[in-house]
Amino acid sequence: MQSAILKLDKIVKTFPGVKALDGASLQVYPGKVMALMGENGAGKSTLMKVLTGIYQSDSGSIEYQGQAVNFSGPRQSQLAGISIIHQELNLIPELSIAENIFLGREPCHRFGAIDWQTMYRQADQLLARLDVKHSSRTLLGQLSLGAQQLVEIAKAISFESKVIIMDEPTDALTDVETLSLFRVINELKQQGCGIVYISHRLKEIFTICDHVTVLRDGQFIAERCIDDLSEDAMIELMVGRQLDEQYPYQDHRQDSICLELQDLRAADTPAVSFKLKQGELLGIAGLMGAGRTELMKLIFGAIPIQSGDILLNGQPLTIESSQDALANGIAYISEDRKGEGLLLELSVKENMSLCSLGELSQFGQIQHKREQAKVAEFIKAFNIKTPTQEQAIGLLSGGNQQKVAIAKGLMTQPKVLILDEPTRGVDVGARKEIYQLINQFKAQGLAVIMVSSDMPELLGLSDRILVMHQGQISAEFERHQAGQEQILAAAVGKYQTEGTL
């Protein structure tokens, strides 16, 4: 094997009370993609922060291009040629693409005025290399998330980076955008760039990566060649034990119709109709921007209804706000956990009971004992890992945060549960637990709608799949009736099943 361009060896990092890294190691080879795998809390992010100098390690060494280095901050590591592309993009929507790429190091004339011509020309060249069709004068905010990601990569390239770290780069991307990202990665490989690829999506790891490094509990577990590893074997390395089937499907469908949409539309969307049985899990597929989240928010009363009806158990509902939806037994768990799902400053308890305080209060006074008992019950049922109910929720891992979010919806005792990307940013072990919980809900007769961009998850769990394209339902598939290709074709509008549209 060729020698590594970057070598992190036996890194130890302790925070007050917690040993985040306990002998973590990682090697990056030029022209290769190294997957960095591990459950949430395994220390992947901490290791990357040590590498880029955001944290200083307690012990261990970093060797870059054959020399021992110790960066004092991300600026320094970036200038040395190590770029990191974070899960949450660090770009400014109000500035143009070029301004974002050259932020803080704009090419200047002699007297300090910005040399716009040079800046746009250089930016356009970078974009051309990445096959981005936009002009570098376009405002970043007008781009899709995928295109924004490519701008972030263009920025990394402009530093002539020799190592690029990508932290969950495809989390917000559509399948088409993911493919073009992979093309760019292959190009970077040919130029001798070493890439660290962090993702929860195993399929991608096997598609794009050459090697895998697995961390568990802050420790280095193994480095393997991707060809020597099966999916199951990798999960075993990550969780430290064997996992049985990844998508535990159970059929709990009942005959009675629970929810029915009749030509439901918002002011600027086409009308949508579908039916949902009790105990059924309806998967909603589609590309980013296909209107999936908008439809869910329409049902949930967060977007005003223009016309059409929502029927619950045959009774038409009047839904003018999320309050109405919750009161009628429809709960919605947002795709955007941090933005509109949870209150990060508040405790686990306060988050979980927020929708149910009416139930838990008398004359406006919260009955603390009942609240605590109820929350304790859900923490146990959902196997949520938290030291106490009073823990600020921002300090929990992504998987546990998501469980709290689902528990919050379920505490209102809904008849219909809408899950929007329920496993985004959730590690393999916690995913499995969430799937099992969904099965439990189904067994109790709950109707579930699940929006997901994770195709295997959608195929593995759904009783039925609706595919959305431009705000409309372009296809409907029964379980096992369709594969990934047909769904994708329907999502881009090239495939239609009879009776739809």
Site for another protein, residues 183 to 242, rule: CB under 8 A:
216-218, 239-241
Residue number with CB closer to another protein (208 or 326): 326
Residue number with CB closer to another protein (32 or 216): 216
Comparing C-alpha atoms, which of 473, 455, 420, 489 is closest to residue 275?
473
Give me the helices (H) in 421-478, please: 428-443, 455-461
Site for another protein, residues 457 to 486, rule: CB under 8 A:
none
Identify the residue whose tokens are 């072990």. 429
Take residue 246 and report the two structure tokens written for it: 């990844």
Which residues on neighbouring strands pair with residue 478, listed in sequence order?
Answer: 464
From 88, 340, 377, 478, residue interacting with another protein (rule: CB under 8 A): 340
CB of 430 to another protein, least distance (A): 6
Please tell me whether residue 304 adopts helix, strand or coil conformation.
coil
Residue number with CB closer to another protein (100 or 334): 334
* Calpha distance 166→196 (Å, rounded): 6
Could you give the string, one character per residue 372-411, with x where binding to another protein holds by CB under 8 A and - elsewhere? -----------x-x-----------x-x--------x---
Q: Within 10 A of 68 (CB to CB), how many other CB atoms are there?
A: 9
Comparing C-alpha atoms, which of 462, 458, 454 is closest to residue 172?
454
Give yes or no for residue 300 binding another protein (CB under 8 A). Answer: yes
- DSSP result, 85-150: E-SS----TTSBHHHHHTTTS--B-TTS-B-HHHHHHHHHHHHHHTT--S-TTSBGGGS-HHHHHH
From 346, 445, 479, 497, residue interacting with another protein (rule: CB under 8 A): 346
Site for another protein, residues 307 to 336, rule: CB under 8 A:
321-323, 325-327, 332, 334
Site for another protein, residues 127 to 146, rule: CB under 8 A:
none
CB of 408 to another protein, least distance (A): 7
Q: Within 10 A of 468 (CB to CB), how many other CB atoms are there?
A: 23
Residue number with CB closer to another protein (151 or 410): 410
Take residue 1 and report the two structure tokens written for it: 């094997």
Site for another protein, residues 90 to 119, rule: CB under 8 A:
none
Residue 324 · residue 318 · CB < 8 Å: yes
Site for another protein, residues 57 to 86, rule: CB under 8 A:
none
Residue number with CB closer to another protein (195 or 416): 416
**Strands ordered across the beta sheet of 315-316:** 272-277, 257-265, 307-312, 315-316
Alpha-carbon distance values, 96 to 133, 139, 141, 160, 276 (Å): 14, 4, 8, 21, 45
CB of 441 to another protein, least distance (A): 19
From 92, 108, 343, 395, residue interacting with another protein (rule: CB under 8 A): 343
Residue number with CB closer to another protein (194 or 399): 399
Could you give the string, one character per residue 349-368, with x where binding to another protein holds by CB under 8 A and - elsewhere? -x---xx-xx--x--xxx-x
Site for another protein, residues 5 to 44, rule: CB under 8 A:
14, 16-20, 22, 39-42
Residue number with CB closer to another protein (28 or 296): 296
Tell me whether residue 466 is exposed, middle or buried, using C-beta atoms within 10 angstroms of its C-beta: 0 to 12, 13 to 18, 19 or more: buried
CB of 267 to another protein, least distance (A): 17
Take residue 299 and report the two structure tokens written for it: 């049902």
Binding residues for another protein, total number by CB under 8 A: 55
Tell me whether residue 331 is exposed, middle or buried, using C-beta atoms within 10 angstroms of its C-beta: 0 to 12, 13 to 18, 19 or more: buried
Site for another protein, residues 422 to 451, rule: CB under 8 A:
427, 429-430, 432-433
For another protein, the binding residues (CB under 8 A) are: 14, 16-20, 22, 39-42, 216-218, 239-241, 300, 302, 321-323, 325-327, 332, 334, 339-346, 350, 354-355, 357-358, 361, 364-366, 368, 383, 385, 397, 399, 408, 427, 429-430, 432-433
